[in-house]
Amino acid sequence: MTSSTLTNIRNFVLLAIVQVLIFSHIHLFGYATAYIYLIFLLKLPRHTSTNALMLWGFLFGLAVDIFGDTPGMNTAAATAVGFARNTFLATFTHKGLPDDFVPGVKSIKWGGYLVYALMCILLFYIILFLLELFTISNFVPLLISIASSTLLTMLFVVVAECFSFRK
């Protein structure tokens, strides 16, 4: 195995443990929940295939679903993010970047990175909460949950990016 594969596996295990033991149990004001494991999908290199992204998303979602007693909702939402991530990345980056760059502030600047991350996270929460509620009859609470969870997760993405940007 290459060192990048071992690093990915290590990061996967650490983020999954932190997500399951800490972040899955935090529900601010009954609406906002941060799923920080999305940072892993956001930070994989550009050349990562859609199939590999979907597999990583599936595995993360499955781990959270198993330990969080949510039957397949995280798996479906994270797999969808894996499917759409490269499209979002191509939309919000310029064409002159090398094929092996890692998405982040260093490579695509704050504006592009924030819009890219926001689109991935928003897609995740729309799918997750629609699957959870399985109805749009409670439209306002649905929108509040999607917006607040997206903003909370974006806050953690920005904090993580600030720490990695300083390295």
Question: Which pLDDT tens digit goes with each residue over 75-111?
Answer: 999 999 999 999 999 888 777 777 778 888 888 888 8
- CA angle 28/85/26 to nearest 5° reads 15
User: What's the whole-model pTM score?
Assistant: 0.91
pLDDT attached to residue 135: 73
**May I ask the CATH class of domain 3-166?**
mainly alpha
What local confidence, expressed as pLDDT, does residue 101 receive?
83
φ and ψ at 103, to 5 degrees?
-60, 130
Residue spans of the domains in the chain: they are 3-166
Question: What are the residues whose beta carbons fall under 8 Å from the beta carbon of 34, sequence distance 6 or more?
Answer: 23, 26, 149, 152, 153, 155, 156
Position 165 scores a pLDDT of 58
The helix/strand count (H/E) of the chain reads as: 6, 0
Q: Residues 10, 13, 19, 20: what is their CA dihedral angle, to the nearest 10 degrees?
A: -160
Of the ranges 6-10, 39-43, 77-81, 99-103, which one carries the lowest mean pLDDT score? 99-103
Contact 130, 13 (CB under 8 A): no
